[in-house]
Amino acid sequence: MMRIALLAVTDRGRRLAETISREMGDGDLLTTEDGVRKAIEAAWRYYDGLICIMATGIVVRCIAGLCRDKISDPCVVVVDEQGQFAISLLSGHIGGGNDLARQVANACGGQAVITTASDVSGHTAVDLWAVEQQCRIVNPEQLAAVTARLLNRGFIRVFQDERYVDRLPDDFRDCVASEDADLIISRQPSVCGSSLQLLPCRRFIGFGCRKGVAEEDFARAVTDLQQRFGLDPRSVAGVASIDIKAQEAGLLQIARRYRWPIRFFSAEQLNRIVSPSVSAKVYEKTGAHSVCEAAAMLAAGSIEKPGTLIINKVKWKTITAAVAQRVD
C-alpha cells in the first residue's frame, strides 16, 4: 500500500485535502506552517506519493533539488484549490502518479491530467510493464531513449537470456541476439551499450530476529548475503517473517530502505511449509518450527506451491535469514 501525504497552503486547500483523504480512505494531512519547502523535504523520503493542493510553480521550485530518478522518487500530484484538475507531475508510471491522479480526480470530481507520452500515444509504458513483469530497471538513464525508439519506430526489440516473459506486448518483438536488442532481460545485467537492462525479481528473503534488532544489523546481514552467496539486492522482490515480528522497527526500516514489500505469516501458516531447518527453541518462542526458511518459501509461492529455497538458513548473532525463489 502506498504511503500518501497531502499538503495545502490555504484553508480552502486544507478542506479539499480533507475531502480527498476521506473519499480515498487514505492519506496523512501534513502541516505547512513552517513553509511548504520544509514540509515537502520532510515528506520526500518517507512517503510514496505527495498530493499538493497549491500552484504547480510552487511545487516545481520545492522539488527541483530533491529529484533523483523515476525509480526512487515519490510520485507527485498537484491539485488546484477548486479540485478541477489533478496533474500527475512526477513519477507517473513506476511511482504510480498517473493512477494517483485519477484517484484524486475521482475523489474531488475533477479531471486527471496525464502527459506521459506512452499513455497519450497508446504504446506500452516500458517502465510500468517492467514492474508488472516483476523486473527491476538496472539502468534507468536509458529509459527515455528506449521509450523514444518505441514511439518513433513503433516497436522495440527484446532479448531474454531465459524465457522470463512468455507473451510480449504487440509493440515488443523478440530478437535472438542481445546486441540487437533495445531491451534485455537477464539475471546478469550489463549496463554497457544503449539497451535498457531489466533484472528479474523472483527472490524473497525470510527473516527471523530477536526483539529490538536495529536496521543497520539487518543491513549488514543483507550485505553478507550479497558477499557470501552473490545475492543481488535488486533481484529481491520482497521480504517476510512471522506475524509476531510485524512491529519490529529495524525489520520494517530495512524493507523501506530497499523498497521491498513485506509480508507476515502466522505460525500456523509457516508450519504447513516443509523446510530443511527446524528448531525446538524457535518453536518454543514462536510456535513455528521454522521462521526464516518457511517465510521465504511461502512469500515466494503459496502453501500449495512454495518457492524453492536457494539459500538455506544463515545465522548471525541476532538475525537469521534464508532466500527462496519463485517457481513460475
List per-residue pLDDT tens for the chain, 328 residues long: 789 999 999 999 999 999 999 999 989 999 999 999 999 999 998 899 999 999 999 999 999 999 988 778 999 999 999 999 999 999 888 888 999 999 999 999 999 999 887 777 789 989 889 988 989 999 988 998 999 999 999 999 999 998 999 899 999 999 999 999 999 999 888 766 889 999 999 999 999 999 999 999 999 999 999 999 999 999 999 999 999 999 999 999 999 899 899 999 999 999 999 999 998 999 999 999 999 999 999 999 999 999 999 999 999 999 999 999 998 7
Q: Fold for domain 203-325?
A: Nucleotidyltransferase; domain 5 (3.30.420)
Q: Which residue stretches of 25-55 are H helix? A: 36-44
Are the folds of 4-115 and 121-200 the same? no
- 265's grid cell: 505469516
Of the candidates 134, 156, 135, which has an alpha carbon nearest to the alpha carbon of residue 145? 156
- The DSSP output letter for 83 is S
C-alpha torsion 127→132→137→140, nearest 10: 10
The model's pTM? 0.69
Distance of alpha carbon 130 from alpha carbon 196, whole angstroms: 11
100 by DSSP, 3-state: which? helix
- Which helix (H) or strand (E) element contains residue 18? helix 11-24
Strand partners, 85: 111
Alpha-carbon dihedral sign for residues 328, 136, 132, 323 = positive
Other beta carbons within 10 Å of 16: 24
Pairing of strands 196-200, 135-137: antiparallel
> What DSSP assignment string belongs to 194-220?
SSEEEEE--EEEEEEE-TT--HHHHHH
Domain range 4-115, CATH architecture: 3-Layer(aba) Sandwich (3.40)
User: How far is it, in rounded angstroms, from Cα 21 to Cα 13?
Assistant: 12
Rg (the chain; Cα; Å):
22
For the domain with range 121-200, which CATH number is right: 3.40.50.740, 3.40.1390.40, 3.90.180.10, 3.40.50.2300? 3.40.1390.40
* Cell output for 16: 479539499
Q: Is 80 exposed, middle or buried (0-12, 13-18, 19+ CB in 10 A)?
A: middle
| Other Cβ atoms closer than 10 A to 288 | 25
Q: Kindly give the pairing relationship between strand 75-79 and strand 49-53.
A: parallel
Report the 10 Å Cβ neighbour count for 162: 9
What are the extents of the domains in the chain?
Answer: 4-115, 121-200, 203-325
